[in-house]
Amino acid sequence: MIYSLCLLLIFVGLYGVLTKKNVVKIVLSIIIIEYGVHLLFVCIGYRAGGKAPILDRGADVAKFAASSVDPLPQAIVLVSICVSLGVVALLVALCLKLYEKYGTFDVNEMRRLKG
């Protein structure tokens, strides 16, 4: 169920990217896609009743592996959040440059003014 909600969030963002003509709305749609992907990775790494993946001395490794949470999706999400922050900063800077050049955020108007 939760995976379908993550995919719904990704598809809503994809719909916004493909149908909107305003550059700011396109950037917001890309952010929604990123949030959906982050949530999907977190849901993949979730385990009900899971413990932190820290091994104590003298602990049974087989029992520990069966009851611990997978740390790899969490690490991927942390890296992905940092990368997406850089991408969003770049997209906002691009939007500002486009507005300086064309005086509008509308993609169709930018095509018309291209000359």
pTM of the model: 0.83
**Domain with 40 in it:** 2-113
* pLDDT tens figures, 54-84: 777 766 766 666 677 778 888 899 999 999 9
pLDDT of residue 84: 95
Number of domains in the chain: 1
pLDDT of residue 64: 65
If 0-12 CB within 10 Å is exposed, 13-18 middle and 19+ buried, where does residue 36 land? buried
- What string of DSSP letters covers 40-75? HHHHHH--TT-B-S-PPTT--HHHHHHHBPPSHHHH
pLDDT of residue 112: 80
Three-class SS of residue 7?
Answer: helix
Structure tokens at 64: 């520990």
Per-residue pLDDT for the chain (115 aa), expressed as one digit of tens each? 889 999 999 999 999 999 999 999 999 999 999 999 999 998 888 777 777 777 777 667 666 666 777 788 888 999 999 999 999 999 999 999 999 998 899 998 888 876 5
Residue 30 belongs to domain with CATH number: 1.10.287.3510
> Distance between CA 109 and CA 7 in Å, rounded?
32
Nearest residue to 91 via CA among 43, 10, 31? 31
Angle between helices 72-102 and 23-45 (to 10 degrees): 180
pLDDT of residue 54: 73
For the chain, the 3-state helix, strand and coil shares in percent, each to the nearest 5, are 75, 5, 20
